[in-house]
Amino acid sequence: MAGKTTTYRIGYALAPKKIQSFIQPSLVNLAEERGIELIPIQPTKPLIDQLPFDCLIHKLSDPEWINQLRQFVSQHPDIVVIDNPDAIDRIHNRITMLEFFNELNIAHEVSLGVPKQVFVESPESLFDSVAVKGIKFPVIAKPLLANGTAGSHQMSLVFNEEGLKELKVNSAFILQEFVNHGGVIFKVYVAGQHIQCVKRKSLPDISDEKLGSPVNLLSFSQISNVTAQDQRDEGVSKLMEIAELPPLSFVNEVASKMRQALKLNLFNFDMIRDGSAGDQYLVIDINYFPGYAKMPSYETILTDFFLDIVQHKPSVVSNDSETV
């Protein structure tokens, strides 16, 4: 195309499925028009042989790759790596991902918290943990590790103690109190200073009647990751329609404070509105490098973010885990 000047190179190290969903022609073309070339990185080859690039974005879990990346980060502070592997590790654990919430200091009149949760090291220690911490049913059993495997999304909604006995788990997990929230979650996508909040299908509210039913436990996985087809279900679309998005100023404040606290640029978080507590929102999950292509105008938002990085905008959280 005449007049086109590609100046910056951004390397990406992603799994094939992620490349397919994220590196779409619409993103590649828009980025190129605005002076950015997106370059695939071969994770099995030395990174230094794949230079030059101005920035590297990544989401791969292979330990050898992570080692190589860690070394690269310490040896090439001039090249921006989005994001630091240590900061990403923190949100691969459902306890550490929510630990910093008390320090967030949200100034807004709308309040923010996290549901009560307990760590359970093994099924044998289960009953002690519940008794000691006094958690209330219903609860959701979530794998401790949120590392992108199918198993890490495998959850169980537990209605009572009998349900706990039926729980089939083979590694550490958490029990998190289930909070009625009108069947809709708010997914807030963050790409540096760019923030977008969307509504998604969630688990329906649980009435006292249902709590008294003979069902003790229900298993589920990736309930909010539904297709447009699923969202057309009449009951679901009604709930989605009536749910009001949280105030924009609140969403922006929470997202930018989380970004600073987590020292991450590319993530999303799931937030619910407590149905029994007025304007009380709870963060239930944080995901690294989520499915941005599901977000409206993802090409523009991600290209704006890439430009922020390569033009060294102060809004980007950098390699050394400090905001530059």
Ligand X SMILES: O=P(O)(O)O[C@H]1[C@H](O)[C@@H](O)[C@H](OP(=O)(O)O)[C@@H](OP(=O)(O)O)[C@H]1O
Positions at the binding site:
18, 59, 94, 142, 153, 176-187, 202, 270, 285, 287, 291
Closest CA to 176 of 116, 95, 224: 116
Smallest distance from ligand X to CB 245, Å: 16
Smallest distance from Mg ion to CB 22, Å: 17
| Intra-chain end-to-end CA distance of the chain, in Å | 35
Contact call for residue 224 and ligand ATP (CB under 6 A): yes
CA-CA distance, 268 to 291, in Å (whole number)?
Answer: 9
Residues that bind ligand X (CB under 6 A): 18, 21, 148, 187, 225, 268, 287, 290-291, 294
- Site track 283-322 with ligand ATP (rule: CB under 6 A), x = hit: -xx-x-----------------------------------
Cα-Cα-Cα-Cα torsion 292, 297, 302, 304, nearest 10 degrees, comes to -160
Q: Which residue is listed with tokens 């249902």?
A: 210
For CA atoms 110, 113, 114, 118, the dihedral sign is: negative
Within a 10 A sphere around the Cβ of 55, how many other Cβ atoms?
19
Interface with ligand ATP in residues 92-121 (CB under 6 A): 115
Closest CA to 287 of 157, 57, 101, 94: 94
Smallest distance from ligand ATP to CB 276, Å: 12
CA-CA distance, 125 to 44, in Å (whole number)?
Answer: 41
Which residues have C-beta within 8 Å of that of residue 20, sequence separation ≥ 6?
none
Contact call for residue 160 and ligand ATP (CB under 6 A): no
Q: Which stretch binds ligand ATP (CB under 6 A): 42-50, 163-171, 175-183, 312-320?
A: 175-183
Burial class (CB within 10 angstroms; exposed 0-12, middle 13-18, buried 19+) of 305: buried
Smallest distance from ligand ATP to CB 164, Å: 16
Annotated binding site for 1D-myo-inositol 1,3,4-trisphosphate: 18, 59, 153, 187, 287, 291
Smallest distance from ligand ATP to CB 6, Å: 34
Residue (80 or 146) nearer to ligand ATP, CB? 146
Contact call for residue 176 and ligand ATP (CB under 6 A): yes
Residues in contact with ligand ATP by CB under 6 A are: 115, 140, 142, 146, 153, 155, 176, 178-179, 181, 185, 202-203, 222-225, 270, 272, 284-285, 287
